[in-house]
Amino acid sequence: MTGPLFGKAALVTGASRGIGAAIARRLAADGAKVAITYFSSPERAAAVVAGIVAAGGEAIALRADAADDEAVREAVGEAARRFGRLDILVNNAGTGTAASIEDLPMAEFERVVAVNFRSVFVAMQAAARQMTEGGRIITIGSVNGDRVPFVHGAIYAATKAAVGGLTRGAARDLGPRGITVNLVQPGPIDTDMNPADGPWAAAGRAATALGRFGDVSDVAGLVAYLARDEAGFITGASLNIDGGYNA
């Protein structure tokens, strides 16, 4: 395969479905070798890999619980070993919770923080040790890191805001090495976890300027651009892809 990412190697976490799967497919279509992580959906992960291979790309699936620091580190290291390099990290693995701060159990708080924030730092740290100049670290956050127009979203929003601060600080730390660090913040995107015809879809559509949900390919396209050489002067940025949700 050829393409703007030919010769590059990428790891996309939590990519057995939805936005992560779309990102993996797009990076592969642009020429990158792609490793994906999964935890509870081996069949879905295998299907993503099979589709990439059938299209002429190279891909592998690695089982890793995003809440397990060592598993995340091992996945980063294994991707680098299998491909001989690591140029692109996409932190996509995430989880949610819906509860008032009065009622949220501490165990649930710890789980959401571990998956949505701690795993991002662990993967970022491990990947930075593998990357050379031109490396790309891209995290998938949420517009709810900036705005929470609904109840029971405090902890989820807090973790998404935290990765914004981490992104900006890491961009400063890694900039002298020529590694960029950016945050992509999707708004309402049609996935099986947040379908465009789901029970909360009407409110999501109404909150956007365009009056519709986005597609996973929209997010994948932005990530693919940030991974390219021509995006080398973009770093420390939080980029909304939300149809005007936060306008």
Q: Is 156 a catalytic residue?
A: yes
Report if residue 97 sits inside a domain: yes
**Averaged over 176-190, what is the pLDDT?**
98
Report if residue 4 sits inside a domain: no
- pLDDT digit string (tens) for 133-147? 999 999 999 999 999
Report if residue 219 sits inside a domain: yes
Check residue 14 and give left, alpha or beta (phi > 0: left; psi -120 to 50: alpha): left
Specify the pLDDT at position 39. 96
pTM, full prediction: 0.96
CB within 8 Å of 44: residues ≥ 6 apart:
16, 17, 21, 38
Report if residue 121 sits inside a domain: yes
Coil vs helix vs strand at 158: helix
- As for how many domains the chain has, the answer is 1
- pLDDT tier at 12 (50, 70, 90 boundaries)? very high
Half-sphere exposure of 46 (CA within 13 A, CB side): 4
Specify the pLDDT at position 193. 84
- pLDDT digit string (tens) for 88-140? 999 999 999 989 999 999 999 999 999 999 999 999 999 999 999 999 999 99
> For the chain, how far is it from start to end, CA to CA, in angstroms?
39
Half-sphere exposure of 164 (CA within 13 A, CB side): 16
* Domain range for 134: 9-241
List the structure tokens of 27: 């990076």
Average pLDDT of the chain to the nearest whole number: 96
Report if residue 14 sits inside a domain: yes
Q: The CATH number of the domain where 100 resides is what?
A: 3.40.50.720
**Averaged over 34-61, what is the pLDDT?**
97
Report if residue 221 sits inside a domain: yes
Active-site position among 38, 156, 225, 245? 156
Report if residue 247 sits inside a domain: no
Q: What is each CA distance from 50 to 9, 42, 60, 74, 223, in whole angstroms?
A: 17, 12, 9, 23, 22
Report if residue 2 sits inside a domain: no
Q: What is each CA distance from 48 to 10, 33, 222, in whole angstroms?
A: 14, 13, 20
